[in-house]
């Protein structure tokens, strides 16, 4: 179609869920996803659109392969770069809407000639993760090929600012909301934590277009975003994430805006919603009005799906009472599959009917899915063949030769009794039988709903399992367990003796409930990531000792400044609730208190006797009812002096800090015992000094010098070095 020459019309090609890289290891379907994406970019160039809008899930994997990234960059460079200038005028502040390495839109870069700019949000498959919180779209933006917008830095406090564009007299406000986990997004909208911004001037003249990537339908009460929570000043909403192509805009009678669901460009699951004809749309915006042009995609592999119920289908009537009816059922099902293959061929020819096909333009192998319910009436039986063996009969005729047929039966009371005897809960077993693919979050939540966790919090546990499976984070569960247990132990160590004697179950439950609440509110989401690997020891042998990264002691906490945390912790300890002191920040839970600030840290670490003596005057000012506290010091802390202060919480905190000093301050005893055996002069004062390894070598050289040049007393007087070490 020739381009609309109206100078006031903005032409936008709209596409979502391209999933480049899907099934790239399959010998037949490996090139389907990127070929269709390349066709979409070619359509944008042929139709001479002003811009391309992608609604998330450009890549199928969070870490796309080199081939997938190469094909996307190749297609974008071939079709979006050129000498034709972009006619869109950029009106908004790029630093507010783009947060990448370059705070400007790519077609205004003087070093790159962009003729068709591409604007994209991220989906749930290509979302940011890891160090730096980068995703694949950040790489494309740095390369100057894509304008990545709609970032969500804080999932519990979302600010949506528009990209303001203008062509002639038409003004466009483009809003983007990238994917957030549906339950959290639902809660954020419920708590009114999503804020939309509008232009300061002439806001009524802008056509408001929004792209988001969330569940459109209520799979569960909280795992979707309702259309009614979106602002009613929107004119059109492009809805990503749903793969069924419903490209005709539907008007919402309550909000007044229209909703368009382009669907995916490649079938990623064998369900009826994916069998609908795949299309893209060209949106023509003129003033406050818009029109949609639908363009079917020609490179999509044909897909046909059907469902057969053997008990009611006339083609299988009477077979349920026939003994050994497996062969007859298989033959009749094969006839149905052959009919589906022919139907797929006709559908493909109907789209390519106007073209002259050569030898290389033959219809591709189709995707075929036949669902068969073989539940038989009482007293009868349907015998079906192994689905793998049945599907392999069509090798060379279909693209999915391993899962052509799917056999299932209606659930009965007998099957539920069998499920009750297994180790899995009933709901989890039903989910595994009833659907082709099950989400990890659903399985974990269903499983934990049947269990009773006493120590580990449920929500962070489920998130750790999801990170382990979905994001390939090998240490997610290990880090979660270490973090949760250390938090519990620190909290229990801060309890008073009276509360310990009452029982620990209630306090453990309180700690678990607080960690659960802090995770739901988003405070402990990042706390699980504040660990890193230690350097591998020099003598570590991976063949004998195993991989260093797989060892529990290989992890360490990232160092942070303890002084501000201690100061804030003392403020929070002033008014504890139920004997447990909690903080609002991520790492502030159960933080040990430092000694009173009047004591300088240098003297406290240099000599423990000095620190105890200085703590004695503060003890005299304690009330009379606290006088019995020092008697417990030797039993709990094994200290000769009393390091405790006024409150019970501070007493335990000082004990914990002194224990750390005992582990770090004294040097190891073996160097002192081995010193006299090496021929050096043995004096009484030598055994009382603490020499490091670096100090031993100079002392040995001093002994080798003649007696005329240096005396024995001078050879061992290296006290300044030891004082420097204490500092």
Which residues carry out catalysis? 125
Rounded (10°) CA dihedral 255, 258, 259, 260: 180
Could you give the C-alpha distances from 3 to 44, 76, 86, 113, 678, in angstroms and in order?
Answer: 11, 20, 14, 21, 93
CA distance 403 to 709: 91
Token reading at 193:
């934590």
Packed helices 32-46 and 66-80: angle between N→C axes, nearest 10 degrees: 10
Q: What are phi and psi of 21, to 5 degrees?
A: 105, 0
Query: Which alpha helices (DSSP H) does 158-316 contain, by range?
Result: 182-190
Count Cβ atoms within 10 A of the Cβ of residue 552 and give its class: 0-12 exposed, 13-18 middle, 19 or more buried: exposed
Q: Which residue, chain included where needed, has tokens 């010098």?
A: 705
3-state SS, 481-508, equals HHHHHHHHHHHHHCCCHHHHHHCCHHHH
Contacts of 323 (CB under 8 A, 6+ apart): none
CA distance 500 to 495: 7
3-state SS, 40-70, equals HHHHHHHCCCCEEEECCCCECCCCCCHHHHH
Separation of CA 264 from chain center: 22
3-state SS, 199-224, equals CCCCHHHEEEEEEEECCCCCCCCCCC
Listed residue (130, 142, 127) closest to 213, CA to CA: 127
CA distance 131 to 471: 13
């Amino acid at each position: 179609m020739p381009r609309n020459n109206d100078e006031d019309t903005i032409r936008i090609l709209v596409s979502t869920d391209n999933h480049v890289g899907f099934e790239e290891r399959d010998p037949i379907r490996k090139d389907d996803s990127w070929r269709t994406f390349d066709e979409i970019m070619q359509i944008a160039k042929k139709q001479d659109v002003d811009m391309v809008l992608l609604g998330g899930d450009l890549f199928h994997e969070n870490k796309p392969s080199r081939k997938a990234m190469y094909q996307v960059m190749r297609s974008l460079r071939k079709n979006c770069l050129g000498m034709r200038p972009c006619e869109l005028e950029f009106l908004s502040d790029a630093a507010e809407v783009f947060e990448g390495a370059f705070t400007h839109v790519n077609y205004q870069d003087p070093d790159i000639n962009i003729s068709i700019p591409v604007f994209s949000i991220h989906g749930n498959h290509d979302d940011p993760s890891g160090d730096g919180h980068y995703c694949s779209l950040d790489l494309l933006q740095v390369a100057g090929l894509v304008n990545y917008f709609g970032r969500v830095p804080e999932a519990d406090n979302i600010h949506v600012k528009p990209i303001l564009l203008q062509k002639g007299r038409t003004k466009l406000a483009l809003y983007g909301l990238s994917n957030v986990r549906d339950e959290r997004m639902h809660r954020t909208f419920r708590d009114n934590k999503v804020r939309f911004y509008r232009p300061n001037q002439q806001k009524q003249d802008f056509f408001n277009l929004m792209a988001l990537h969330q569940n459109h339908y209520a799979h569960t009460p909280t795992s979707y975003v309702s259309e009614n929570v979106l602002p009613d000043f929107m004119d059109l909403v492009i809805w990503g994430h749903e793969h069924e192509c419903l490209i005709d805009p539907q008007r919402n009678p309550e909000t007044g805006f229209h909703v368009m669901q382009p669907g995916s460009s490649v079938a990623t699951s064998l369900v009826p919603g994916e069998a609908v004809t795949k299309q893209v749309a060209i949106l023509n915006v003129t003033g406050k009005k818009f029109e949609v042009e639908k363009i079917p995609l020609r490179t999509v592999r044909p897909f046909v799906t059907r469902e057969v119920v053997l008990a009611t289908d006339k083609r299988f009537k009477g077979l349920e009472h026939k003994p050994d009816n497996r062969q007859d059922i298989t033959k009749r099902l094969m006839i149905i599959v052959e009919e589906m293959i022919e139907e797929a061929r006709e559908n493909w020819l109907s789209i390519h009917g106007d073209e002259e096909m050569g030898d290389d333009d033959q219809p591709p192998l189709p995707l075929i899915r036949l669902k068969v319910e073989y539940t038989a009436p009482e007293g009868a039986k349907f015998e079906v063949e192994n689905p793998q063996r049945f599907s392999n009969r069509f090798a060379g005729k279909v693209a999915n030769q391993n899962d052509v047929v799917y056999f299932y039966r209606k659930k009965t009371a007998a099957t539920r009794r069998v499920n009750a005897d297994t180790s899995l809960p009933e709901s989890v077993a039903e989910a595994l039988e009833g659907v082709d693919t099950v989400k990890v979050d659903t399985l974990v939540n269903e499983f934990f709903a049947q269990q009773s966790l006493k120590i580990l919090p449920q929500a962070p546990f489920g998130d750790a399992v999801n990170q382990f499976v979905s994001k390939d984070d090998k240490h997610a569960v290990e880090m979660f367990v270490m973090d949760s247990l250390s938090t519990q132990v620190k909290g229990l160590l801060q309890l008073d003796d009276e509360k310990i004697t009452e029982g620990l179950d209630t306090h453990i439950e309180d700690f678990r409930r607080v960690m659960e609440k802090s995770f739901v509110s988003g405070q402990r989401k990042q706390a699980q990531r504040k660990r890193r690997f230690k350097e591998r020891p020099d003598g570590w042998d991976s063949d004998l000792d195993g991989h260093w990264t797989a060892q529990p002691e290989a992890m360490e906490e990232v160092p942070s400044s303890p002084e501000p945390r201690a100061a804030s912790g003392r403020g929070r300890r002033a008014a504890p609730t139920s004997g447990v002191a909690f903080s609002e920040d991520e790492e502030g839970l159960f933080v040990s208190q430092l000694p009173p600030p009047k004591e300088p840290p240098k003297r406290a670490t240099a000599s423990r006797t000095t620190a105890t003596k200085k703590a004695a005057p503060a003890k005299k000012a304690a009330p009379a009812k606290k006088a019995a506290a020092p008697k417990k010091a030797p039993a709990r802390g094994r200290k000769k002096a009393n390091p405790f202060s006024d409150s019970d919480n501070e007493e335990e905190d000082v004990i914990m800090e002194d224990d750390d000093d005992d582990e770090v301050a004294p040097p190891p005893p073996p160097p002192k015992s081995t010193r006299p055996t090496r021929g050096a002069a043995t004096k009484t004062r030598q055994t009382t000094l603490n020499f490091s390894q670096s100090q031993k070598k100079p002392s040995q050289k001093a002994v080798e010098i003649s007696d005329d040049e240096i005396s024995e007393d001078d050879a061992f007087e290296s006290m300044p070095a030891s004082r420097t070490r204490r500092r």
